[in-house]
Structure formats: structure tokens, C-alpha cells
């Protein structure tokens, strides 16, 4: 069993905050994602997901509060969703919850596009707007 360390990557203006919790089976991404090198950022996320899915039989929940994604971030998210799809098809309980600001219809539409390709539970939920 190769439990890799949990991710705790602080967000910046162009990168989401990324936190994983192996014990809870949870991965969260929050914020904007338009890094200069998205593969550098997302490779470690993908590696964590792959490791969790290969070493654990417990559910994995992905919690997203992403505001904006550039094209390469979208591609990286597709890779993550593909891993979840493969695990789901193999009988693994996986889920995605995508929280979005109801004033940002574009991100809700993007989440809907992702959801169309997924057969596992994929919730798209508006977050309460605080003024």
C-alpha cells in the first residue's frame, strides 16, 4: 500500500487551492485555474487520485468550487473525471459535487458539459450568494 502524502496546495490568483484528505476519501479544488503550466499543477492531483483509487476500496468524493478554468485546466479535469469514470465502472463509489456561484452561469454550463460524460453521481449545486 503506497499512501502518498495528502495535498495541501494553497491557491493563488491563477491556481486553485487543492486539498486532499486520504482518511476521509475527499479531494477539494477551490478557486480559479489558469496556471502557466497546468500539467505541473494537475499531475500531482492526478497521481493522488490514481494512488487512492488503486490502493483503497473506499468511496472517493471530489468537491469542486471552481470559478474559471482555462483550456489546459479543462483537459486536466477531464483526465480526473475519466479516472473516476473508470473506477465507477469497476464498481467503486465515486462522486463529484461542483459548487458554483449562481451569478456565474458559464461555470454551471461547463459543469453540465462535464456531467454529460459521467455515469457516476455528479451534483451541480449553487452556493448561497453572500453580499
pLDDT at 114 over 80: yes
Q: Is the pLDDT of residue 31 over 80?
A: yes
- pLDDT, position 131: 61
Residue 44 CB burial class (10 angstroms; 0-12, 13-18, ≥19): middle
For residue 118, give the 3-state DSSP assignment: coil
Give the mean model confidence (pLDDT) for residues 114-127.
Answer: 96
| CA dist., res. 20 & res. 60, Å (int) | 10
pLDDT bucket at 128, cuts 50 / 70 / 90: confident
Q: Residue 4 — very low, low, confident or very high, per pLDDT cuts 50/70/90? A: confident
Distances (CA, A) of 10 to 18, 28, 105, 115: 7, 12, 26, 27
| Average pLDDT of span 92-113 | 95
Q: What is the mean pLDDT of the chain?
A: 94
Report pLDDT for 2.
60
- pLDDT (tens digit, 9 = 90+) per residue, 5-20? 899 999 999 999 999 9
Residue 59: phi, psi to the nearest 5? -65, 150
Amino acid at each position: 500500500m503506497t499512501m502518498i502524502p495528502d495535498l495541501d496546495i494553497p491557491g493563488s490568483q491563477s491556481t486553485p487551492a487543492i486539498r486532499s484528505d486520504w482518511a476521509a476519501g475527499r479531494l477539494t479544488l477551490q478557486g480559479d485555474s489558469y496556471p502557466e503550466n497546468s500539467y505541473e499543477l494537475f499531475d500531482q492531483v492526478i497521481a493522488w487520485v490514481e494512488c487512492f483509487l488503486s490502493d483503497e476500496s473506499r468511496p472517493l468524493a471530489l468537491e469542486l468550487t471552481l470559478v474559471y478554468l482555462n483550456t489546459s485546466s479543462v483537459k486536466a479535469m477531464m483526465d480526473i473525471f475519466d479516472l473516476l469514470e473508470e473506477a465507477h465502472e469497476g464498481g467503486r463509489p465515486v462522486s463529484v459535487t461542483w459548487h458554483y456561484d449562481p451569478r456565474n452561469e458559464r461555470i454551471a454550463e461547463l459543469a453540465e458539459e462535464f456531467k454529460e460524460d459521467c455515469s457516476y453521481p455528479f451534483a451541480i449545486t449553487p452556493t448561497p450568494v453572500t453580499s
